[in-house]
Structure 1
């Protein structure tokens, strides 16, 4: 059989063995049709694994086996000489970085492929420019030895106006698999059957790049076989079942810097320092943007990374600067934008008005002027095409560069008057909804009026609280917009409805801004009483949230003078209350005590019952800081009596009860009255739950200490562990600004503030561990028994 073709040699071996095609098929596991095509020369010589199966079934000698293998290799090599290789993988990028975990996942998936089982399919999806094709090609390179029968690539052109038709895609794949064009069926379904039959016998890897939708992909997928298919798409392709989905996100900061340096190459000396991180951030850590930015720098010898960062810092020109040759970030986004329905295009553009980082479907509905169901459908369309990122089950956000693209489309496709009207509609809705939500916590209000119909459910205080939290960035930006537009009464109304809600979110970083805006707005209105009220609110925020106690006292006393001129005893009482609070928190206990007593008398005389009980709470806290625990306990018990005896509104009553009970529990713990502390903390826990981790953590700390002292070790450990987590969750991160804290007692008791004057980073102010461990300052209300104490109690239990 010297000089014969592979097909002739195979037929000769089969006939010498006395086997029919069916016999050889059954013995080798290779289909009879595939063997017939090989013998007649209608398909190329098979790969190594198929050859081994045929040789074993034919019981070939070592020499005959080696000759057959060599002949197959020779024919495969000759078949590629002088003609283009259909389906060749594109060139991979040499500077590929990151994606290690995703690549490992895909490789593990590939190794699970087995003969006779279903062909493995992986869908790699993500937004435009995130590097899906580069990822798929890198994976194919790593899996070359796993799929010895070949790796084949096909661009499905899913972002083109007319994607690759299914029939043409099948034709190209069959040709890549060396099927004679004359043998390829005319019917699309028959072609799909041919493809499945061939791939059932081969251990191949198919990369189907840039898929348009499920309908384009489904006919190209094999049924059974030891091969694998990797599909890339901007869409999730959720209609494909039984597939591994790998979502690609932008690179990490470190990976982005590595990619920039790798692209810059010889110019790496110009890619050093902080500017690399700046450029990476301005590129949104998107591989396409990073590649373009790095290429621009590498091709311009006179530029430094600083020059590039400066160019990219102009948001209006950033997309234009992220373009080189035939690559452009905006062009990549435009391909997806063109695929949207007209309503989804309008929503995409108008979402550029959203000021916050993320948003919910109701804002989208307001911007697009559609109902909530249509808004959700359009948002799903944007997510599906990678133009929007889903955050949880009901929040959405833009990638930074896609937001710029949306703003560019908004300016280009909608006139200025229409844009202004859309933004006003969003601002009005945000502020109206914020007022409705905030009023749940205002005395005399509560549930929304019966005639209010909103896009957000406000049936309970919990729903109102949740909305105010998740949309905080957006309604705050709307408040700024209203202030800039001189909508003074609207600004005042929003801030006023937040007054009692602020007690639940006391460490939100923006209360000072809210009440600064409302103070200015109220000062421009004719009603002086509104101005006094909002000076007082601002004084509270400056001291409680910013720890600027001297400024707070000055504001409160300004409000006190104005209120005296108007004969407004109620606001005089409020002003003195805020001044007393600022003096107490600033360490001037003597002035605080006097102001509290004066405020108490004024509130009582004015019938200001809501304020009266809050002043009583402050007075009790002052006794705590003096270490006079018996007097403090009497004051807190008095608070509980007064709340029941006076017509206090629900929200102030709830705050007073919670604060008093939490403080009572801490007092009893400090006095080591453990049974009483346990009882008080048990009563305080359900009340503290509505006011965040700071209060709840203190109660669990008290419960842990009490159980430990009373011998219930397991319960103690459970409560202390919860306390530690809650207290750490409740720490405030306010930057590196310094504050000065002064305390001036002659001989303070152990749980009061120690005599000292220190400068402490504002972060540390809210981390009791830093104050307790580093400077020995120990304030019973704000820092006592915090993280360091919880750790110490846990360590004692373990010891």
Structure 2
């Protein structure tokens, strides 16, 4: 990897990547360790999409697909942090990145085209093909040779994940296509021996591809080896019969006949496609802007031997485009009949075509006179099958309403292929291949935008183009409409189009161009539903989060879970809803906008408010229950109706798993509650997330949710609620080391606690304020706060508060060098926490004891307490505490002379701290560097 590297600012080689083999990276000509397999998978996505912002959701889908871990966003952060350490070893936490950049919606790997072997391959391939078309055969051969030489085994070798798998397939196809192009050049230059040598590996490795067989037969014939050319046809036929039960298509059959009769023109011609003018053909014209879909096209092409391929997907996802494109590629295999029939399953102003009427159209298309077509549908089906018997026919049955509509149209001949498109999953159809089509990958969506727009604006405004395709939800129909508007409005910039699509209230109106409209496409699916399913769909438009679970959807709709499951599954079947994981559902972004609009148009204000209230009651009751498991000694409870539906949790692990799953919904739910005037829900939902955010170390989200809930508490005039949220803000700011902000929040909360007369709350604020003063080095003020808190807690009989103060005093005594007093205070606190089963606080005190014994030089006791602390913190899901204790154990091991063990602890602590974006990461990094 010594060629095509990026030059740094100082003139030295920079970052270079190899993708056309085992994935590798070099930085300044030195190999970069890319880390564990899933981290390599994430790097691969960024490298393939270099200089494009790849969204976090796209990275999750690309690395894990449907097999998601509990916290995929955290996994992305962890792997990005690992890559930054490898790619930018000297970068500090707050300094800007050079190679791997963060954006509000994701990440971008900056890499010049010449630093990527994939980009160089694509450039050489395109230049070689242009040279070939221009008649410059020698230059074409050299360029194509250079392109193929860049491969070093299988592309993206050893990289897991669905993105790598699909790209590996696509790149393998590209490699073969370029090799075939090169053979054509060799034939044209009269280098038949070289052409034979190049074609044989292709026919051996891809025996069902007809082009390399035709090239091999042509080269052998022109080299004077007629019998070997015919033997090559026999081998191709044997492979096709064994795999597909079919003879080779017209390309090879026609070439064989020309070889048999020694056609003189064959010595000068390249293999030709057969004349299909006599075939019954009415396939639509393929689009000029077909982009991507390599994996899907390969699956449709592979279905040629199975007889039936059903393609389903939501409105506008490109089902017909894929079917027509694949039909064009398959056309040479089906010379007799190639027909397209629109079944109008979801057509505006038209009923679906009955099977009998569809059979009449098909029979007329293959030349059966109208007076010979029977009246009965069964008789028509029998005649249709007889007409296709022994014929190679390709049918595209477009926009089927259900399996019953298409079943009578299927030919009985194994030599035919039927491609069916439908918005409904045709589970009742015995299809050889079923393909559910998803939206486009980000890069392909941008490429489609550029192709349809037709000028350089998209390339010149890459970031704005990315925001446009995201506003379109990566839906091909929406991207095409947006691009068409851009194409016909030369005065518009891409940024102007982005701004027009920014507001959800007008986005669907903007995605309309003459007779094409995203909203109309959606409405045809929506209006095919009955009343209960329509209502479930539009109520889902009220849900503000990214994914909704079955229990929450049931609460939203006001039905039991069994009924909700039936309704949701039916919406999945008609492609109005996705189910990425069992029991978890999501609306496509544009469908969510459409559902919300239909909800506002159809449901009255009272109905919408009632549905939102049911949803918020469910979440508040469930989050409150989870908080009860995580913090059983808390002093406040949420106010929810006793009969509100809720999830229940057996233990901390179950509560944290649910909270992790729902994490992305909390801030949107609080904001939605505040907008709807449901201020009690807003502030209490924020408050009840304390234990979750503290356990997981989600400090930024803690601040966001509390800032969203705080205005609601103030609007209610609830000073105690306001105080509690201010305390939460102070805790989060403290952990982020923004101590001045924390002190400000605590002092405001303290005044409110005293004003309301809530003594236990006052003690809690004093405790936290004292901790912050300790971190600021203001020990006198710290001691004063802790002593006041201890006095108030004992007077109020608040043993939980007393235990926390004792633990804090133990930390303070350690700072002051009073190590015996530190141990005594913390052991008292430990006894209290163990009595109450407060595992999280127990882990914190054990960590404090380990540090006290470390300061005393009692390393065995420090190690024992640290091990217990680590077990507690892992057991209760306290990731921030786990990193803290690993950091402590690293210091214990270093003091004992065990440098490798210390480094191991610090590396594990650093991985967690970086994943949480915790300020402690910088401290741990310095300790590691000092070993």
Q: TM-score, normalised by structure 2?
A: 0.62
Q: Specify which of 551, 560, 568 is matched with residue 362 of structure 1.
A: 551
How far 1:616 moved relative to its partner? 3.4
Structure 2 matches for 1:483-522, cutoff 5 A? Answer: 483=674, 493-494=684-685, 497-507=688-698, 509-516=700-707
Contact 2:806 / 2:829 at 8 angstroms: preserved in 1? yes
Q: Determine if the alignment matches structure 1 residue 689 to structure 2 residue 880.
A: no
1:548 maps onto 2:738 in alignment? yes
Deviates more, 1:558-567 or 1:578-587: 558-567
Q: Distance in 1 between matches of 2:309 and 2:788?
A: 73
TM-aligned CA distance change 1:260 to 1:423, over 3 Å? same
- 2:643 is the counterpart of 1:458: no
Question: Is contact 2:851–2:862 with CA below 8 Å preserved after alignment?
Answer: no
Contact kept in structure 2, 1:340 and 1:381, CA below 8 Å: no
Contact preservation (8 Å) 1:271, 1:304 = no
2:259 & 2:797 partners in 1: Cα distance? 109
Superposed counterparts of 1:40-79, under 5 Å? 79=278
Q: Within the alignment, does 1:102 sit opposite 2:296 as a pair?
A: yes
Instruction: Please name the residue that 1:39 is paired with.
Output: none
Q: 1:693–1:726: 8 Å Cα contact kept in structure 2? A: no
Task: Tell me which residue corresponds to 1:660.
Answer: 845
1:603 aligns with 2:789: no
Residues in 2 aligned to 1:315 and 1:305: alpha-carbon distance in whole angstroms: 18
Higher deviation after alignment, 426-435 or 442-451: 442-451
Q: Aligned residues, how many?
A: 675
Aligned residue number for residue 736 of structure 1: none
Matching residue of 2:527: 338
> In structure 1, what is the Cα distance between the partners aligned to 2:383 and 2:575?
34
Indicate the residue corresponding to 2:200 in structure 1.
none
* Structural mapping, 1:156-305, within 5 Å: 156-160=343-347, 161-177=350-366, 187-193=376-382, 195-196=384-385, 201-222=390-411, 225-241=414-430, 243-266=432-455, 268=457, 272-305=461-494
Cα gap change, 1:149 to 1:688, in 2 (>3 Å): same
CA distance in 2, matches of 1:448, 1:490: 9
1:677 is paired with a residue whose SS is helix
Which stretch shows the higher mean deviation, 474-483 or 240-249? 474-483
Please tell me whether residue 765 in structure 1 is matched to residue 915 in structure 2.
no
Structure 1 residue 370 displacement after superposition: 2.6
Note the C-alpha offset of 1:311: 2.1
Distance 2:386 2:895 in 1: 75
Give the structure 1 partner of residue 136 of structure 2.
none
Specify the alignment match of 2:727 in structure 1: 536
- Structure 1 unpaired stretches of 5+: 1-27, 29-45, 67-72, 114-118, 734-762, 779-784, 793-799
Write the distance in 1 (CA, Å) between the matches of 2:258 and 2:455.
56
Q: Who wins on radius of gyration, i.e. which is larger?
A: 1
Matched, 1:397 2:582: no
Match of 2:25 in 1: none
1:90 paired residue among 274, 284, 290 = 284
1:313 correspondence with 2:502: yes
Moved more, 170-179 or 344-353: 170-179
1:658–1:94 distance in 2 versus 1, CA, 3 Å: same
Q: Is the 8 A contact 1:764 1:771 kept in 2?
A: no
Structure 2 gaps, min length 5: 1-237, 239-245, 265-271
2:593 match: secondary structure: helix
The 8 Å contact of residues 49 and 149 in structure 1, kept in 2 or not, is answered as no
Secondary structure of the structure 2 residue equivalent to 1:391? strand
Name the CA distance, whole Å, in 2 between partners of 1:679 and 1:363.
Answer: 42
Q: Distance in 1 between matches of 2:897 and 2:425?
A: 56
CA distance in 2, matches of 1:152, 1:730: 61
Check 1:625–1:139 CA distance in 2 against 1; reply closer, same or farther (3 A cut). Answer: farther
Measure, in 2, the Cα distance between the counterparts of 1:267 and 1:455: 55
SS in 2 for 1:509: helix
**TM-score where L is the length of structure 1:** 0.71
Give the superposition deviation at 1:396. Answer: 1.4
Partner residue of 1:406? 595
Q: Distance in 2 between matches of 1:710 and 1:540?
A: 34
Q: In structure 1, how many angstroms separate the alpha carbons of the residues matched to 2:329 and 2:646?
A: 50
CA RMSD of the aligned region, Å? 4.8
Q: Is the 8 A contact 1:272 1:305 kept in 2?
A: yes
**Do 1:581 and 1:592's aligned partners in 2 also have CA atoms closer than 8 Å?**
yes
Alpha-carbon shift at residue 252 of structure 1 (Å): 2.4
| 1:629–1:92 CA distance, 2 compared to 1 (3 A) | farther
Distance 1:472 1:334, change over 3 A: same
- Offset of 1:295 from its aligned partner? 1.0
- In the TM superposition, residue 131 of structure 1 has moved relative to its aligned partner by 0.9
Contact 2:870/2:886 (<8 A) preserved: no
User: CA, structure 1 residues 429+176, in 2 after alignment: closer, same or farther (shift >3 Å)?
Assistant: same
Per-residue CA distance 1:627-659 (angstroms, 9 max, x = gap): 9988766654443223356xx5x5xx2221122
Look up the SS of the partner of 2:492 in the other structure: coil
Give 1:621-770 correspondences, 5 Å limit.
Answer: 621=811, 636-644=826-834, 648=836, 650=837, 653-662=838-847, 664=849, 673=859, 677=863, 680-681=866-867, 684-685=870-871, 687-696=873-882, 728=911, 731=914, 763=917, 765=919, 768=921, 770=922
Look up the match of 2:573.
384
Closer/same/farther in 2, CA of residues 417 and 265 from structure 1, 3 Å limit: same
- 1:604-619 to structure 2, matched below 5 A, reads 604-619=794-809
Question: How far apart, in 2, do the equivalents of 1:730 and 1:158 lie?
Answer: 54
1:200 Cα deviation from its structure 2 partner: 6.2
Q: Which moved more, 1:450-459 or 1:608-617?
A: 450-459
Q: Once the two structures are superposed, what CA deviation does each residue of 1:191-238 show, in whole Å capped at 9, x if it has no partner?
A: 445555665634443322212112123333355625433222112222
1:353 match: 542
C-alpha displacement of 1:400: 1.6
SS at match of 1:144: helix
Counterpart mapping for 1:547-586 below 5 A? 547-561=737-751, 563=753, 569-586=759-776
Deviation at 1:263, TM superposition (A): 0.9
Distance change (3 Å), C-alpha of 1:316 and 1:570: closer
